[in-house]
Amino acid sequence: MSAAVSSAYAAGEHDVRIVLNEELDVVEPCMAARSNVGRVILQNVNETLTEFDAQQGGLKPRLATAWEQVNESTWRFKLREGVKFHNGEALDANDVKFSLERTADKSMICEVGVKYFGGTEMTINVIDDQTLEVMTSPAQPILPLLFSTVPIVPDSTPRNEFTRAPVGTGPYSFAQWNVGQNIVLERNGNYWGEQPVVDTATYLFRSDSAVAAAMVQTGEADIVPNIAVQDATNKDTDFSYPNSETARLRIDVQISPLDDRRVREALNLAIDRQALRGSILSADVIPATQLVVPTTSGYNKDLQVWPYDPERARALLAAAKADGVPVDAEIKMIGRTNVYPNATEVMEALMAMLQDAGFNASLQMYDVAEWNGLFIKPFPENRGPTLLQAQHDNAKGDAVFTAYGKYHSQGGQSVLDSVRVDALIGEATAASGDNRTSLWQQLFAEVNDTIIADIPLFHMVGYTRVNPRLSFKPTIATNSELQLSQISFK
C-alpha cells in the first residue's frame, strides 16, 4: 500500500495535503479556538506568546522568551528578538498589546476572547519594544498559560473586522484561500526558528469521513485529522488518541419546560449512553459527568454518570406535568453537522431515546456558521426550548478554559444565570493551588448535580489517518492544532 500511496501523490515531494471535515467559513486568527480554524492557523501562520507542551506538560517559550509575576495581578513578558511578520514588519510589544486587546474586544466576538478571557479585564503597558506588563482584574495566576491561546497579529491588522488574509510570524505564510476549494500555506523562508521540512500544505474539505479516509488510502491526501470509528480500519495508517473533547447537549435552562429541574433530570435519565459506545461511537469513549476531562485541574471525580432509567424519567415528567409544567411542549434538538464523526447519527439516536421516555423531541442539523448563531450570544428571541449539540476541548489543563464562557451569567455561550455559579467562577479564577482545584470541583458539582445544566455525553477519542510516507503521530493537541513543523518524511 505504501508504494501505491506514494505514486498516486501528484504534488511536490515535500508538499502535503490535509483533509478537514468542515469547510472553513473564517480564517481569522482570533477564531482559532474553533478546531478546524486552529488546525490551519495556530502555530503555523500565527504563533502565541507561550506554548503548552502536550507531551511533557508545562509551558514552552514561543514569541515570549521569559515571563515573571510582578505582583498578584501583574505579569511581565519579554519578547523574542529578531522576529518578523510575513509582511516584513518587526514584532514588538505594541503588536502584542494590539493582539490581546483585539482578541478580548467584545465587539469582535472572537472565540478565543469569549472562551478564555470572558470576565477578565486586561490593562497592558508597553515597557519597551521587547517588554510589556499585563495587569488583570481579577488576578490571573495562570496568565502565561492563558496566553498560549492568543494568536499574535501585527498592529496593521483590521481592528474591528475579521481578516481574510491572516498575517503572522509562524513558519508558514497564508498563501491562498480558494473559497469552496482549498487553503494553501507556504513555508516562510524568513522564519526566526528552525526551518520545517514541509514546503507547502494544502487543506481540502470533505464532510464524508469514508471519502476523506479513502483519499489517504489512494494517495490523494496525506492526513485526515478526524475520521469516524468505522473508517479507522487500517492499523498501519490509523491512530487513535484522546482528544480532550467532551460531547454534551446544552440544556436551555431559561426556557420552559427546561427551567424545571425534574425535566432536566429526566432528560439525563432517558439517555442510554452504553448503547452508543462501540456502535455509533468508539468503544473507547468515556461516559462523562462534567465538561472537563479527568486530567484537567478541577475535575470532580465524585460526580456520577447518570444511569439509564427511562421509567424514572417518565415518572419525573408525570410529576412535573401534574404541577402544571408544559412537558408536552416540543423540544428542538439543535445539531451541528460534522462537529464530530457520526454527529448526525448520534443526535438521531438521542432523539429516539428522548421520545421513548415521553419527550416531544425534534431534530434540526445545521452547518457550523448557522449553528454558531444559535450557540453564542445574543441568542435568538422566541427561540423556544432547545437542546444544543456541542463539543468542548480543554487540552490546557485548567478548568478556567471551560468555566466562564460556558457557565457564567455573562459567558458568551452560557444560558445560566446563577449567583452561586458566578461567585464560584470568580473565586476559582483568582485562586491558586489546592484552593483553586477545590473551588473548580465545587463549581462542577453545582452545575452538573445541583442545577443540571447539561446532558454530559462522553469524553471523546479521535482517529487520524496518516499517509505512510510521513512521520507524524497525533497527540492530545492535534484536536486543536496541527503543527506542520512536526511532520517529516520517511
Tens digit of pLDDT at every position of the chain (490 positions): 444 444 445 468 899 999 998 899 999 999 998 888 999 999 999 999 999 887 776 789 999 999 999 999 999 999 999 999 999 999 999 999 999 999 999 888 898 988 888 778 999 999 999 999 999 998 888 899 999 999 999 999 999 899 999 999 999 999 999 998 999 999 999 999 999 999 999 999 998 999 999 999 999 999 999 898 889 999 899 988 877 889 999 999 999 999 999 999 999 999 999 999 999 999 989 999 999 988 888 999 999 999 999 999 999 999 999 999 999 999 999 999 989 889 999 999 999 999 999 999 999 999 988 998 899 889 988 899 999 999 998 877 789 889 998 999 999 899 999 999 999 999 998 888 899 999 999 999 999 999 999 999 999 988 899 999 999 988 777 778 899 999 999 9
CA 156 to chain centre: 27
Task: Give the number of other Cβ atoms within 10 Å of residue 119's Cβ.
Answer: 18
CB contact at 8 A, 223 and 21: no
Whether the bond between 138 and the residue before it is cis, its omega within 30 degrees of 0, is yes
Whether the bond between 158 and the residue before it is cis, its omega within 30 degrees of 0, is no
HSE-up (13 A, CA, CB side) for residue 433:
1
State the cell numbers at 8: 498516486
State the cell numbers at 19: 483533509
pLDDT of residue 138: 85
pLDDT of residue 5: 45
For 410-420, b where at least 16 C-beta lie within 10 A, e where not — what string? ebbbbbbebee
Place of cell 491558586: 432
HSE-up (13 A, CA, CB side) for residue 399:
30
pLDDT of residue 8: 46
pLDDT of residue 11: 65
pLDDT of residue 294: 87
Q: How far apart are CA 386 and CA 319, in angstroms?
A: 21
State the cell numbers at 460: 471523546
pTM for the whole thing? 0.77
Strands 286-287 and 200-205 come out as unpaired
Task: Give the number of other Cβ atoms within 10 Å of residue 490's Cβ.
Answer: 9
User: DSSP readout, 231-245?
Assistant: G---TTTEEEEEEEE
For 163-196, b where at least 16 C-beta lie within 10 A, e where not — what string? eeebbbbbbbbbbebeeeebbbbbbbeebbeeeb
Question: Rounded to 5 degrees, what angle do the CA atoms 163, 164, 169 make?
Answer: 70
Strands 360-366 and 488-489 come out as unpaired
pLDDT of residue 4: 41
CB contact at 8 A, 426 and 119: yes
Strands 454-466 and 386-393 come out as unpaired
Q: Which amino acid is residue 143, in one-letter code?
A: L
The dihedrals phi and psi of 334, each to the nearest 5 degrees, come to -105, 115
Whether the bond between 171 and the residue before it is cis, its omega within 30 degrees of 0, is no
Q: How far apart are CA 166 and CA 174, in angstroms?
A: 6
pLDDT of residue 439: 97
Q: 3-state class of 215 per DSSP?
A: helix
Task: Give the number of other Cβ atoms within 10 Å of residue 355's Cβ.
Answer: 13
Angle (deg, nearest 10), helices 419-430 and 400-407: 160
Nearest residue to 358 (alpha-carbon basis) of 306, 309, 307, 313? 313
- 389 strand-pairing partners: 249
